[in-house]
Each structure stands twice: as structure tokens, then as C-alpha cells.
Amino acid sequence: MEIFASKLYEQQLKDILSLLLAHDYKMTKNFKMYLDTIIVNMPSKEKKYQKSLYFDDENIKDILFQGCTIVFFIDKKNNRYVLLGITKKS
């Protein structure tokens, strides 16, 4: 399965990384590297993630990661995962 990022996800990630970068470059780099690892491994760990709190659909799941929630959709018809958004708890 392929993994795609929505424009909303890309913008939200950019905003989060900008906030983190203002505090600590090394922490930001580690955050991004670990996040990329989680996303790359998403297909093999799909069952580990819970049904999204934001949607009433079994194919939309949440990944909780370092105070962030990454919402993704399992698009079985097109054989891909779509990263819908990422939010950081305030």
C-alpha cells in the first residue's frame, strides 16, 4: 500500500515543526525522524491504532505520538493510506 499526505496534513505538520524549531533544532529533527518512521511502518501496524475519535468510520484511525494526533484513512479501494491531518495538544 502507498502512503499519501493531504495538503491539510502537510500544512499542519509544517506549522508544528515551525513551533518546535523555535525552541530546539535537535528536538525538532528527532521528532520528524521518529514521525517518519511511524508513518513508514503504518501499514504493518495498522491494527495497533485505534478508531478515530473524530470520525465514525472503522477505516479512519488515530495515531497518538508525542502529544500529537495523526489521523489517517485506510483507502482499501485504491490500496493506499491517506494522512488526513495532524494536531498538537496545546
Number of domains the chain is built from: 1
We report the CATH number of the domain holding residue 54 as: 3.30.2310.20
Task: Output the pTM of the full model.
Answer: 0.90
- If residue 51 lies in a helix (H) or strand (E), which one and from where to where? strand 50-51
**Which strands sit side by side in the sheet containing 50-51, from one edge to the other?**
2-5, 80-88, 68-75, 60-65, 50-51
**pLDDT per residue of the chain (90 residues) written in tens, 0 to 9:** 899 999 999 999 999 999 999 999 999 999 999 999 999 999 999 899 999 999 999 999 999 999 999 999 999 999 999 999 999 986
DSSP state of 12: H
- If residue 2 lies in a helix (H) or strand (E), which one and from where to where? strand 2-5
Supply the range of the domain harboring residue 62. 2-88
